[in-house]
């Protein structure tokens, strides 16, 4: 059986070079514009989205429990005078700590604080 001329000598070399360049181009285009991602990147994105969903669910509970404290208005004013990056330290730790964590979450503290500043009727919408 005779081998086709494209698979012989110089033609074979050009064919393999073209296949390699095509594979590299496909990978570059796929990861750059095609939306491909590695498993680790997808896992990181899923973790971030789940944390955001937990924060969105817990923030109204945090705000309600904070408002139920004695002297909540004065405590809200005190928290508003604190720098944003220290705000989580000013909330009661049990209100702004995510399940399974030991340290307060600054993202949950910020979301809770935003709800505390919003009028009560706007927070319910």
pLDDT band at 10 (very low <50, low <70, confident <90, very high): confident
- Coil/strand/helix, residue 55: helix
In a domain, 69, yes or no: yes
Q: What is the pLDDT of residues 69-107, one digit of tens each?
A: 998 888 888 898 988 888 888 899 999 998 888 999 999
In a domain, 52, yes or no: yes
Is residue 55 located within the same domain as residue 93? yes
Of the chain, the percentage scoring pLDDT greater than 90 comes to 51
Is residue 117 located within the same domain as residue 60? yes
Supply the pTM of this predicted model: 0.65
Q: What spatial distance separates the first Cα and last Cα of the chain, rounded to whole Å?
A: 77
Rounded Cα gap, residues 78 and 67, in angstroms: 14
Domain count, the chain: 2
Is residue 13 located within the same domain as residue 56? no
Tokens of 4: 């086709």
User: 70 in the Ramachandran plot: left (φ > 0), alpha (ψ -120 to 50) or beta?
Assistant: beta
pLDDT band at 49 (very low <50, low <70, confident <90, very high): very high
Is residue 16 located within the same domain as residue 65? no
pLDDT for res 59 = 94
Domain that residue 15 falls in: 1-36
Tokens of 101: 């964590």
Is residue 51 located within the same domain as residue 83? yes
Is residue 82 located within the same domain as residue 108? yes
Is residue 117 located within the same domain as residue 79? yes
In a domain, 41, yes or no: no
Query: Residue 109: pLDDT above 90?
Result: yes
pLDDT band at 11 (very low <50, low <70, confident <90, very high): confident
Is residue 66 located within the same domain as residue 31? no
């Amino acid at each position: 059986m005779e081998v086709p001329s494209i698979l012989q000598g110089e033609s074979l070399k050009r064919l393999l070079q073209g296949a390699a360049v095509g594979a590299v181009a496909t990978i570059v285009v796929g990861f750059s514009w095609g939306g491909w991602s590695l498993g680790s990147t997808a896992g990181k994105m899923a973790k971030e989205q789940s944390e955001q969903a937990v924060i969105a669910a817990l923030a109204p509970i945090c705000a309600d429990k904070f408002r139920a404290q004695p002297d909540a208005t004065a405590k809200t004013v005190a928290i508003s005078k604190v720098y944003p990056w220290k705000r989580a330290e000013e909330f009661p730790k049990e209100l702004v700590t995510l399940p399974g964590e030991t340290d307060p979450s600054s993202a949950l503290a910020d979301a809770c604080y935003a709800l505390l500043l919003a009028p009560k009727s706007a927070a319910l919408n």
